[in-house]
Homo-oligomer: A and B are copies of this chain.
Amino acid sequence: MNDVINLLLQHRSIRKFKDVPFSREQREAILSAAQAASTSSNMQAYSVIHITDAALKSQLAELAGQQAYVSECPLFLVWCADLHRYAEAAHRHGDTPITGNAENLIIATVEAALAAQNAAIAAESFGLGVCYIGGLRNKPADVSELLGLPQLVYPVFGMCIGMPDQEPLHRPRLPQEAVYHENRYTANPSAVSAYDETIRAYMHRRTNGKVDTTWSKEMAAKALRPRKHMKAFLSSQGFDME
């Protein structure tokens, strides 16, 4: 073990922030760390939009499902999968069509995620807290219009960053044997059953006994809330996923 591992293990999402500004140096270091992440064939197929405009932040908070911490956090970033820059560059030397096919969607989504995770760790190394905002995909067309996203760019998630003003419990993760396999995928339903009880105990503790649930019950509830609009939205941004 070492300090870096400890930092990674200490991660929890932070949704309440002190009114403490970040420095320009911190912001630039966070973005430099993001840029240092691995990239497929050096495509760097992502963009990050820093929302400095308070009114725009409030609109995004609303679109994300009235998540107040989006407007309240000192630093809010929108991480985008971006094939537009790649297409613009490639077209300087030919007219090979660049499409938002399934592979390109995966590349750009992965690149946004790798860069964002480096940014999250960099922020946490400064003692800041972060929270990913998948809720930007609730109304992705509205978000894209507000941010002026061109074709072949879509918002994957937002990220709140700021000085934590809360000490949330660590939510336990699945037992390692549920996500870890050797040589061959092997489903482990008994590890899921064990985790159900872990989550039950955790939720009891977190809610002073008010909530009785398990992981599998949460997953069944989650299944009732699909974001079915994503295909049509992605198609409108040029991601045909062919």
Nearest first, the 4 closest Cβ-Cβ pairs linking A and B are: A4-B125, A113-B113, A93-B220, A89-B216
Instruction: Decide if A220 touches B94 in the complex (CB within 8 Å).
Output: yes
- Given A102-B234, A184-B148, answer yes or no on A134-B226 (Cβ-Cβ < 8 Å): no
In the complex formed, the residue of B with least CB distance to A233 is: B102
Evaluate contact between B187 and A85: CB separation under 8 angstroms. Answer: yes
Contacts of A182 in B (CB 8 A): 49-52
Q: B101 contacts A228, CB within 8 Å?
A: yes
Find out whether the CB atom of A106 lies under 8 angstroms from the CB atom of B38. no
A96 adjacent to chain B (CB < 8 Å): yes
One digit per residue, 1 when the CB lies within 8 angstroms of any chain B CB and 0 when it does not, for chain A 7-48 equals 111110100000000000000110111011111111110111
Q: Which of B8, B44, B187 interacts with A88 by CB under 8 Å?
A: B187
Q: A29 contacts which of B1, B32, B137, B171 (Cβ < 8 Å)? A: B1
Q: Is A67 an interface residue (CB 8 A)?
A: no
Report the Cα distance A157→B219, complex, angstroms: 25
Minimum Cβ distance to chain B for residue A92 (Å): 4
Q: A45 to nearest B CB, angstroms?
A: 10
Question: Which B-chain residue is minimally distant from A4 (CB atoms)?
Answer: B125
- Indicate if A179 sits at the interface (CB-CB under 8 A): yes
Nearest-neighbour CB distance to chain B for A71, whole angstroms, equals 14
A90 touches B120 (CB 8 A): no
- A231-B241 in contact (CB<8A): yes
Q: Does A181 contact B (CB under 8 A)?
A: yes
Which A65-92 residues sit within 8 Å CB-CB of chain B?
80, 82, 84-92
